[in-house]
């Protein structure tokens, strides 16, 4: 569909609809979406599903006899129908699946950019299938940044604790890049920009947030004995940022292996958790998030001109089509989009 032009934007600024891009058609995107939309918590949502209606209805007919959870009948839902050119086998992605999920994401983003929908929720895609289809993006986040003209998009994972009194927020300074490339991508300026975004998000919930930053090296460098990045640029960047944000309690750089201990205590009903955590690379942040909140965490993209959320799991090719996929994270993505969009 291409990138909408400026005069197409905000054609319906009062829209309360959520656009849902259904992800890789060989995965569990349709299943978790229909299960989530069948839950009472989603009763007041106004979803617009973006995908192939024929495939969606076929998936529903197959899954409703296998799933222990109820599914929403797509016949009762609004669907932007972008048909698949060929049948899809569950669990077996292909370049055609990659092309379809790429097109569905693009079309769903266009709905939000035009103002026809208030926020975007995305089901998981297979990056390898995108690449095989000729779309070499690291992930959906980067494609959305391109479509919206955003200078820099960031991945933040948010989850409300089981007791409902504390929210885990973890922002990634770098995302889908090899571990060997992390150090060269990081800089003091980048960390400060990410802290700006993390602060802005956390101030939705508290005016004077407490932010924790993980170091890059074991023991946060151990005074230069286990790495020099902290001494060379990270410590100074944090001190400078703190001077410009006296209302924030900034902690760090902390040893990465203990940075999220306070989050574990708060998640289980205790106190002392930070309002936001900054991880310097993908797995540093995602390991504690998924250990604590795998079914509750929501991937929230910051830096876009609209809200985008997604579940924190992948395509689930190994269980696709079997009715086994759990909808909790997709439900959390939908309700977070409703609450924050």
Q: What is the pLDDT of residues 322-332, one digit of tens each?
A: 999 999 999 99
CA atoms within 13 A on the CB side of 23: 29
Q: Is 135 or 295 the better-scoring residue by pLDDT?
A: 135
For the chain, give the number of residues.
341
Task: Say yes or no: 281 and 212 in one domain.
Answer: yes
Given a contact cutoff of 8 angstroms between Cβ atoms, the answer to whether 196 and 278 are in contact is: no
Q: Is the pLDDT of residue 3 over 90?
A: no
Residue-range definition of the domain harbouring residue 268: 154-302
Cα distance between the two ends of the chain: 24
Task: Say yes or no: 287 and 337 in one domain.
Answer: no
Q: The CATH number of the domain where 10 resides is what?
A: 3.40.718.10
Given a contact cutoff of 8 angstroms between Cβ atoms, the answer to whether 35 and 327 are in contact is: yes
What does the alpha-carbon distance between residue 221 and residue 255 come to, in Å, rounded to a whole number? 8
Q: Give residue 11's pLDDT band: very low, low, confident or very high (50, 70, 90).
A: very low
Task: Say yes or no: 172 and 148 in one domain.
Answer: no
Task: Say yes or no: 3 and 145 in one domain.
Answer: yes
Q: Give residue 295's pLDDT band: very low, low, confident or very high (50, 70, 90).
A: confident
Task: Say yes or no: 46 and 57 in one domain.
Answer: yes
Torsion, Cα of 244, 247, 248, 251 (10° steps): 80
> For residue 91, what pLDDT is reported?
97
Q: Is the pLDDT of residue 341 over 90?
A: no
Q: Give residue 6's pLDDT band: very low, low, confident or very high (50, 70, 90).
A: very low
Task: Say yes or no: 94 and 53 in one domain.
Answer: yes
> For residue 1, what pLDDT is reported?
32
Q: Which residues of 32-44 are buried (b: 16+ CB within 10 A; e: fewer)?
A: bbbbbbbbeebee
Which residues lie closer than 8 Å to 180 by C-beta, 6 or more apart?
Answer: none
Q: Is the pLDDT of residue 9 over 80?
A: no
> For residue 312, what pLDDT is reported?
86
Structure tokens given for 15: 């829209």
Q: Is the pLDDT of residue 242 over 50?
A: yes
Structure tokens given for 312: 């924190």
Tell me if residue 86 falls in helix, strand or coil: coil
pTM of the model: 0.86
> For residue 247, what pLDDT is reported?
93
Task: Say yes or no: 140 and 198 in one domain.
Answer: no
Task: Say yes or no: 17 and 127 in one domain.
Answer: yes
Structure tokens given for 75: 């016949």
Q: Give residue 78's pLDDT band: very low, low, confident or very high (50, 70, 90).
A: very high
Q: Is the pLDDT of residue 2 over 70?
A: no
Share of the chain above pLDDT 90, in %: 89
Q: Is 2 or 336 the better-scoring residue by pLDDT?
A: 336
Task: Say yes or no: 324 and 268 in one domain.
Answer: no
Task: Say yes or no: 126 and 228 in one domain.
Answer: no
Q: What is the pLDDT of residues 154-179, one digit of tens each?
A: 999 999 999 888 999 999 999 989 99
Task: Say yes or no: 41 and 96 in one domain.
Answer: yes
Task: Say yes or no: 142 and 282 in one domain.
Answer: no
Q: How many domains does the chain have?
A: 2
Which residues lie closer than 8 Å to 16 by C-beta, 6 or more apart?
Answer: 46, 118
């Amino acid at each position: 569909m291409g990138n909408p032009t400026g005069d197409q934007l905000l054609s319906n600024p009062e829209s309360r609809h959520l656009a849902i891009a259904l992800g890789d058609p060989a995965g569990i995107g349709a299943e978790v979406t229909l299960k989530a939309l069948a839950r009472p918590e989603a009763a007041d949502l106004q979803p617009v599903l973006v995908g192939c209606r024929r495939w969606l209805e076929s998936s529903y007919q197959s899954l409703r006899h296998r799933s222990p959870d109820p599914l929403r009948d797509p016949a009762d839902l609004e669907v932007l129908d972008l048909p698949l050119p060929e049948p899809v086998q569950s669990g077996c992605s292909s370049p055609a699946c990659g092309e379809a999920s790429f097109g569905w994401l693009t079309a769903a983003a266009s709905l939000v950019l035009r103002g026809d929908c208030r926020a975007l929720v995305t089901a998981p895609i297979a990056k390898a299938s995108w690449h095989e289809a000729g779309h070499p993006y690291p992930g959906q986040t980067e494609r959305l940044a391109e479509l919206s003209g955003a200078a820099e998009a960031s991945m933040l994972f948010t989850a409300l604790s089981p007791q409902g009194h504390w929210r885990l927020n973890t922002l990634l300074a770098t995302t889908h890049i090899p571990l060997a490339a992390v150090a060269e991508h990081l800089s003091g300026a980048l960390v400060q920009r990410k802290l700006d975004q993390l602060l802005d998000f956390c101030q939705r919930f508290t005016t004077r947030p407490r932010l924790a930053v993980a170091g890059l090296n074991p023991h946060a460098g151990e005074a230069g004995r286990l790495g020099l990045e902290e001494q060379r640029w990270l410590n100074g960047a944090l001190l400078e940022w703190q001077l410009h944000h006296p209302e924030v309690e900034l902690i760090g750089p902390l040893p990465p292996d203990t940075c999220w201990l306070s989050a574990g205590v708060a998640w289980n009903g205790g106190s002392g958790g930070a309002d936001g955590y900054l991880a310097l690379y993908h797995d540093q942040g995602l390991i504690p998030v998924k250990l604590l909140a795998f079914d509750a965490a929501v991937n929230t993209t910051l830096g876009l001109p609209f809200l985008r959320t997604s579940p924190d799991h992948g395509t689930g090719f190994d269980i696709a089509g079997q009715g086994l996929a759990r909808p909790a994270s997709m439900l959390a993505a939908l309700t977070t989009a409703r609450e924050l969009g």
